[in-house]
Amino acid sequence: MLMNLHTHTYHSYDGAAETVADRIRTAKLLGLQVMAITDHVELNRYYPAAHYHAEESEQFLYDFGKTFADSVAETAKEQQSCSGLTLLAGAEIGQMTADVELARKLYRDPRVDIILASVHEMHDLPDFYFLDYSKIDIKPLIDEYFEEALRTAALDCFDVMAHLTYGLRYIPHREEFDITPYYPVIDEIFRTLIANGKALELNGSGLKKAIPYTDPDFTLIRRYRELGGQYLTISTDTHEGAFLGYRLDELEDMARAAGFTALTYYRRHEPVLLPL
Ligand SMILES: [Zn+2]
Ligand SMILES: [Zn+2]
């Protein structure tokens, strides 16, 4: 197995009680070549709640600056004694447009290899994961999701656009939701990533569901390639060691079928190709 470039540890609020060292042990057992530790940093709640005159709740946690500091420090330390596995220090930054200057500062941290850009939330709503879809008008929310993904794609402070189509992941009966009206904006997102030398992530987290989906799906991965996309990463977005290698072989097959002959990882933000 070549890579898993999106993984969470106990530093993430929703990660299992497993350290970076635990992840390294599992990666070596699996024969993984490259692994990135990318704990959650929701940028719109980077500082403690008091900074925002807000109160912490289950759906709105704060102080993600601490997660960034702790996770990157632990990964950087483990890198010094990690042979046989390329271990990358990074973060999954959510809602990057909330504070672009801060995002740039994190991107420039000399210990950081790879930054994933994610859109998990819209406006004052919680993460898509928490939404009650029976009480929302889905269409305008998804319109806005793709517009926000496009704004994010244009930024200069990340390496990989993570799980594009995340806004669709928790829609009940996703298979009935028509994504084709969004193809023009998705094309624009892809063209922006390509022009700026950024990578697209093929995220396999949704493969655990009864009706399995990758984010984005195969049609979109192929479209990205058709438009000239060269840099593709794959991941399980795992929050527990048991899923570190989950269906990674299938994700590699999908990448090949979409026309990719290599996957990409980032070392200090510089792309490195790994032949498929
Ligand atoms: Zn995410
Ligand atoms: Zn994640």
Ligand 1 centroid – CA 195 distance (Å):
24
The dihedrals phi and psi of 88, each to the nearest 5 degrees, come to -110, 135
The gap between the terminal CA atoms of the chain, to the nearest Å, is 10
Ligand 2 centroid – CA 63 distance (Å):
17
Q: Which ligand does the CA of 235 lie closest to?
A: 2
Ligand 1 centroid – CA 261 distance (Å):
26
Ligand 1 centroid – CA 158 distance (Å):
14
**d(C-alpha 218, C-alpha 223), whole Å:** 9
Ligand 2 centroid – CA 235 distance (Å):
9
CA 47 to chain centroid, in Å, comes to: 21
pLDDT digits (tens, 9 = 90+) for 82-125: 889 999 999 999 999 999 999 999 999 999 999 999 999 998 89
Position 211 scores a pLDDT of 87
Report the number of distinct structural domains present in the chain. Answer: 1
Angle 138-153/183-195 helices, nearest 10 degrees? 10
Ligand 2 centroid – CA 92 distance (Å):
6
pLDDT digits (tens, 9 = 90+) for 166-186: 999 999 999 999 999 999 999
For 259-272, what is the mean pLDDT?
A: 98
Domain containing 44: what range? 3-275
pLDDT digits (tens, 9 = 90+) for 222-244: 999 999 999 999 999 999 999 99
Position 210 scores a pLDDT of 83
Is 90 exceeded by the pLDDT of residue 205? yes
Position 246 scores a pLDDT of 96
- Closest to 98 in 3D by CA, of 148, 140, 48: 148
CATH number where 45 lies: 3.20.20.140
Ligand 1 centroid – CA 233 distance (Å):
14
Position 169 scores a pLDDT of 94
Ligand 1 centroid – CA 267 distance (Å):
21
